[in-house]
Structure 1
Amino acid sequence: MGEQYGGDHQDFRGGEFNGDFTAKKVEYHQHGPAPTALDALPPKVAGFTGRGDQLAELLGAFDPVGGEAPGAVLVAAVSGLGGIGKTALAVEAAHEACDEGWFPGGVLFVNLHGYDDDRVTAEQALETLLRGLGTPPEHIPNGVDARAALYRSVLAARERELGAVLVLADNASAAEQVRPLHPGGVRHRLLATSRSKLPQLGARLLPLGELSPEEAYDLLDRALRIAAPGDTRVANEGEAAAELALLCGHLPLALQIAAALLVLDRDKPVAELVVELAESGDRLLHLDDGERSVRAAFDLSYQRLPAEQARLLRLLALAPGSEVTAEVVAALDGADVPPVRVLDALCRAHLVERGSGRGRWRLHDLVRVFGVGVVKGDVRLWEEGEGARERLLAFYCRWAGAADGRLRWLPGMQEPERFTDRAGALAWLDSERAGLVAVVQWAREERFAATAVLLSQCLAEYLDWRRSFDDKITVCGVAREAAHRAGDRVGEASAWNSLGIALQQTGRVGESVDAHTRARDLFQAIGDLPREAAAWSNLGSALQEAGRTDDAIDAHIRARDLFQAAGDRPREAMAWGNLGLALREAGRAEDAIAAHIRSRDLYQAAGDRHGEARGWNNLGGALWEAGRRNEAVEACEKALEGFREFEDWYGTGRTLSNLALAHQDAARPAEARTHFLQSADAYTRANALTEAAEARTWAEEITP
């Protein structure tokens, strides 16, 4: 046979052949190593900023000598709302870990597309990872279990040869997508990102919230300077930049889009974009730069929700205030008990967050905007939402009315529903205050006006008690306008009356006189004598504050006579007390003392312990001015006892100041200073910060 030469043929020259002869060409194939994708980590996000604590926690988890239990296989899961920056943080941490040399075996990256219509299954992900490890396609078996076993075997061999591998599984939507990707071994690490918390993985869980205001500002500044190093708009418009960050909810995606909009128009001031967002009926419409959209990011999460979760998310978006209690959630839902299971599911998906206390829930500001947009875009969903709002308003009106009844309760009155004491009523009102104030503003809508006006009347006493006069001005102003539009003269007059009290307390005395005059005239026209009497009493206090003492005395006498004629002893006692204050102002000390004694006695007869404390305090002031110092001190001490019993910190502060003045007059500086400081503390608890500052100043001025 002839010699074989190189190439793909044979030379038969010189050969001898007997019989038939067939020559067949033979092909030889030698497979080279399959390509790998072990440097597949995406590039760092340009302008990445903040997340220092979270980055340190991830790096601590990656560190091969970072203190994890010996032999532990670590899985970390970064979770958070769409657009919160999960992938950016994971990629940043992976790059830093590689720079430290912790993963000499390489990095594998797979996008699981967990919220797309064609999300990647675990079996498909394993095929991608095995190919990335250099496994020939024909050697990859079918079935998730077989692929997972081969995957772990290949990783074990790579660990022996080169070292640890980091696997980054991005954008998972469920634990079953990630669990089979567990790498095995003791040195490999798996990092997953998801919009859900994935507690089923047994992983180190790292939930992400929005950026801090400082981090959000830095992100905006860096983004503009990357595009143009000389762009100083954020630095030059610090306040506007902070407002822009707030309108973006400190959400990285929204901030990046806002920065891109500024980059596209380098002549646009930051303040101009702020105005566009603030005045837009739909902020999310603007948070779209053509390639990225906050609404689209949220919609991916929303579309995957089961029906009951999607419904509750929509209803929560309509809730008033920045956060709501579980009771409010139940009212919106129309359920007897809070839907805790559904709330927990939405919380795991980062669409709902736990609020400032147990049983409180909140939405990210932009999620709320998204939910409202979903409701407005569908007539059926809009009517569903209006029904939920009606339920909530009725819920608030019922329980605020009961709480108000407890605050006004005196012996002999019918026991209010639910609340057995003042402390319980105040605690409930405190917990719901933001929502209550917000819901009253629904009075601007005809559908809710009548009930919202009633709710405003239930809040008047409480807002006075907590000295929340700005909230009261807001509530009464909205209620007055709604009642006027509806022709509800009683509601309008009541709103004017309550508004006048708040205006006086905030120093707007002229407006207060006008408000009480309007209330008095309306009640007179209606023929409602008890409410007319209250308006006269409040008008008298405003007139006294305005320096019109004689007019104030006449107003208080008119109020006293009307209450007396109606047989309303507690309010007659109040009128006597107010009259006494005006008489003191007029220099009629003995008449004032007599008025305050009458006030105190009427309060005692009515069983009104808190009113009695006010009577003692007013009497103490009148006795002091009359030179009856010992009696005055005794009266103030009795007042102090009553105010403390009711946790009336404003009354406590005022009485302690009176006692401090008595000690100062008696040349007892140490006692005077102590009482002024105690007064300052009480005023602070009462949210009377101006009075608190004055009391501290007086204490500091005392020379021991």
Structure 2
Amino acid sequence: MGGIGKTALAVEAAHRACKKGWFPGGTLFVDLRGYDDDPVTADQAVLALLDALGVRDGDLPPTADRQYDAYRALLAERRDRMLLVLDNASDPAQYLPLLPGTDHHRVLITSRDRPDALPVRLIDLETLAPDDSVALVTRALHDTDERDERPAREPDALRELADLCGHLPLALQIAAGMLRRRRHRDIASLVADIRETGDATAVLDRGSPGTDLYGRSLALRPVLETSYRRLPPGQARLLRLLCLAPGAETGTEAIAALADLDTGSVLSLLEDLAARHLVTPVGNGDGTASAVRWRSHDLVRVFGAGVVAGDAGLWEEGEAARERVLGFYVRWTDAADDRLRWLPGMAEPERFGDRGQALAWLDGERAGLVAAVGWGREERFADTAVQLAQRLAVYLDWRRYSDDRIAVAEAAQEAAQLVGHRLGEAIAWGNLGNALRAADRAGEAIDAHSRARDLFRAAGDRHGEAMTWGNLGNALREVGRAGEAIDALTRARDLFQATGDRHDEARALSNLGGVLGEAGRAEEAIEALSRARFLFQAAGDRHREGRAWHNLGSALREVGRVEEAIEAYGKDLEICREFEDWYGEGQTLNNLALAHKAAHRPAEARAAWLQSADAYTRADAPAEATQARAWAAEQLE
């Protein structure tokens, strides 16, 4: 893409090659200015090349054809190999006539466009790695003043500045120039300026120090504008709309919804944009073209969004596109959520044949889904965003994405409040409470669940109120308020019984059994957990049946019925593995180890803790894995 450092890399490579003696015949360099308003034509370039080769004035052939003949003849006669650098080409017509008529010499061409139709070796340039970005700015400052201590003094601010520049060499170069000019101000001040405006291109261009070593203007927006202006209408429209997508990476199907096009048409346009280095394909999903994800550079996204915001017609087109992609997300998240909640006897969900397919789709679209819920803070999208947030709750809980759970629930609560959606607000508060408890913020969770309970009660929603009593009981249990937790979970159980909801009654009983066991009321706990297990079995809810077996094992272990506890843990372990619930497997193996330890079987306890560590590692829970290995090591002492 523009600003990636093509010319700088080509010139540096040429210098190094010449230093090694690869091109004793010398080098020729032509700037074709392919993205200027008046690009250099091949006919103009050949005159410059002939002049460099010593053919000028009266020696020049009178016609273009004869000039090309003379140019190729001179190169063919040269025994010493030469390097020809044709910089900044926008069209093969600019450079194809300039290629030597012999393979003796070498040619290096730079362009923002990928000439896939030509048999040339292609080298795609990506943005810099974060560490290289930091090193570039640091070196630029130290080259001017080796006493500049800001990079060492402000490493976090420097890294954030590199992120805001999108690791694009041109943006980093401009930022370094601004920091030279602002030598009495810290790096954080420039970061704050960019954060405040939300547009790095505006801040950097406003403070641009002038021109680079090649006499070119150091400015970001003109680079992006020239690339955008050259696009055919269909590509330009798609790029604008893609810049409005909720995530930095978006799947082909979601982009098709955004653009209101079929998948085949949008895929062709995306491939054209990729050839111009304005979007980048990321992976290939399940191996099909429609599963490819696409990413546009952060600065391109800011530029495209600015183009849309500056035109009333384009703005309305953009808002309609956002509505379409939000609707697309709701439809398929609903189907995926149905699959995750599916129990025997329920209707088969649309599209997703099993949990694995549903989870794979949600994993791929997660960033966009979470960002799209944030659109609910705008009234136009609030209702749909609330729906989307509700359908993400089970998935985010299953994957243990605590930060995303909290962000989604908070955005949904604000959106529901914005449009007066009281039940939606109650559900959002409940989801927020669950997310806060999972993030070890149980005190805040209690407040959130209390708000949810009051809203459900005011709306006369007994099922919602019962669910919230259960969630509140779990949060009270986390902070050690066992008596209140038992009361809350008992109320949840009673309300579910009154409404005839046996499945959710089982959930309340399972949680009630756990807290009864912790309160020393072991026989009551065993009775509640046995009932919960039976109800889950009757409902066909295998995963929650496993959790009930787990809690029952802990209650049995507390009263010394160790062999029965080990059997119960074994039942849960089988179910965890069936669902690939690695974190649940880690927890169960941990408690199984405790049971073996209580039975004075240290070898079995050690083996269970080592397996627990492996499961926690698969679940990306390193702290728990480390602790399990430490307990395993203790069994050798």
User: Which TM-score band (shorter chain)?
Assistant: over 0.9
Between Structure 1 and Structure 2, whose CA radius of gyration is higher? 1
Measured in 2, the distance between the counterparts of 1:138 and 1:200 equals 39
**Is the helix fraction higher in 1 or 2?**
2
Please list, as runs of the form range in 1=range in 2, the aligned pairs for 1:291-310 lying within 5 A after superposition: 291-310=217-236
Q: Does 1:355 align with 2:282?
A: yes
Structure 2 letter corresponding to 1:419: F
Amino acid at match of 1:354: P
Counterparts of residues 209-608 of structure 1 (less than 5 Å)? 209-288=126-205, 289=208, 290=210, 291-338=217-264, 339-358=266-285, 359-608=292-541
For 1:27, the equivalent position in structure 2 comes to none
Using the TM superposition, give the Cα deviation of residue 146 of structure 1 relative to its aligned residue in structure 2, in angstroms: 4.1
Q: Contact 2:513/2:528 (CA < 8 Å) preserved in 1?
A: yes
Distance (Å, rounded) in 2 between the aligned partners of 1:614 and 1:281: 46
Is the CA contact 2:241–2:321 (under 8 Å) kept in the aligned structure 1?
A: yes
Residues paired across the two proteins, number: 621
Displacement after TM superposition at 1:104 (Å): 2.5
TM-score w.r.t. length of structure 1: 0.86
Q: Which amino acid aligns with 2:237?
A: R
Q: Aligned in 2, Cα 1:618/1:142: closer, same or farther, shift over 3 Å? A: farther
Q: Which residue of 2 aligns with 1:623?
A: 556
Shift of 1:105: 2.1
Partner AA of 1:334 in structure 2: D
* Kept in 2: contact 1:466–1:687 (CA 8 A): no
Instruction: Give 3-state SS (helix, strand or coil) of 1:109's partner.
Output: strand
Query: What SS does the aligned partner of 2:189 have?
Result: helix
Unmatched runs of 5 consecutive residues or more in structure 1:
1-80
Question: Which residue identity lines up with residue 265 of structure 1 in the other structure?
Answer: R
**How far is 1:186 from its partner?**
3.8
**2:156 matches 1:156:** no
Q: Percent identity?
A: 58
Alpha carbons of structure 1 residues 414 and 144: separation in structure 2 relative to 1, 3 Å: farther
**1:287 alignment partner, SS class:** helix
Matched, 1:116 2:36: yes
Counterpart-to-counterpart distance in 2, 1:587 and 1:473 = 33
| Superposed displacement of residue 625, structure 1 | 1.4
Q: How far did 1:141 drift?
A: 4.5
Counterpart CA distance in 1 for 2:599 and 2:402 is: 37
Secondary structure (helix, strand or coil) at the match of 2:508 reads helix
Q: Contact 2:496–2:502 at 8 Å: present in 1 too?
A: yes
- In the alignment, the residues of structure 1 paired with residue 306 and residue 594 of structure 2 have an alpha-carbon distance, to the nearest angstrom, of 60
1:483 shift after superposition: 1.0
Cα separation, 1, equivalents of 2:502 and 2:262? 41
The TM-score normalised by the length of structure 2 is: 0.94
Question: What does the per-residue CA deviation read over 1:27-61, in whole Å, with 9 as the maximum and x for residues that have no partner?
Answer: xxxxxxxxxxxxxxxxxxxxxxxxxxxxxxxxxxx
558 and 155 in structure 1: CA distance in 2 versus 1, 3 angstrom threshold = same
List alignment gaps of at least 5 residues for structure 2: 211-216, 286-291
Q: Note if contact 1:574-1:599 (Cα within 8 Å) is conserved in structure 2.
A: yes
CA deviations 1:216-250 (Å, max 9, x no partner) are 22221222233334333223322221111111111
Deviations 1:180-226 (A, max 9, x none): 11113343111111111223342221111111222222221222233
> What whole-Å deviation, never above 9, does each CA across 1:332-362 have from its counterpart, x for those lacking one?
1112315121111111111111224441110
Check if 1:702 corresponds to 2:622: no
Asked if structure 1 preserves the Cα contact closer than 8 Å seen for 2:562 and 2:599, the reply is: no
Matched AA of 1:441 = G
Give the superposition deviation at 1:505: 1.5
Question: How far, CA to CA, are the matches of 1:146 and 1:199 in structure 2?
Answer: 30
Report if aligned partners of 1:122, 1:144 keep a CA contact under 8 Å in 2: no
- How far residue 95 of structure 1 moved from its aligned partner, in angstroms, is 1.6
Asked if residue 130 in structure 1 is aligned to residue 57 in structure 2, the reply is no
Q: Hey, what does 2:27 align to over in structure 1? A: 107
* Offset, 1:166: 1.4
Cα distance in 1 between the residues matched to 2:328 and 2:541 = 29
Deviations 1:298-320 (A, max 9, x none): 11111111111111111111112
CA distance in 2, matches of 1:674, 1:141: 87
Mapped partners of 2:138, 2:623: distance in 1: 39
Task: Tell me the distance in 2 between the aligned counterparts of 1:277 and 1:283.
Answer: 5
Letter in 1 for 2:281: R
C-alpha distance in 2, partners of 1:235/1:543? 47
Amino acid in structure 1 at the alignment position of 2:19: D
1:139: how far off? 4.8
The answer as to whether partners of 1:284 and 1:295 remain within 8 angstroms in 2 is yes
Q: CA deviation at 1:427?
A: 1.1
Aligned-partner SS, 2:537: helix
* SS state at 1:192 partner: strand
Q: Secondary structure at the match of 1:659?
A: helix
Shift of 1:571: 0.7
The Cα shift of 1:576 comes to 1.1
Give 1:374 deviation, angstroms: 1.1
What RMSD, in angstroms, separates the aligned Cα atoms of the two structures?
A: 1.7
Structure 2 counterpart of 1:180: 97
Q: Which runs of 4+ in 1 moved over 6 A?
A: none
Question: Which whole-Å deviations, capped at 9, do the CAs of 1:412-461 have from their partners, x for residues lacking one?
Answer: 21221111211111111111111111110001111101100111000111
Which AA in structure 2 matches 1:304? Answer: R
* Counterparts of 2:117 and 2:293, CA distance in 1: 24
User: In structure 2, what is the Cα distance between the partners aligned to 1:180 and 1:145?
Assistant: 10
Quote the Cα distance in structure 1 between the aligned partners of 2:64 and 2:401. 62
Change (3 A) 1:147 1:656: same
Distance 2:461 2:626 in 1: 42
Q: Which of 59, 74, 91 is equivalent to 2:11?
A: 91
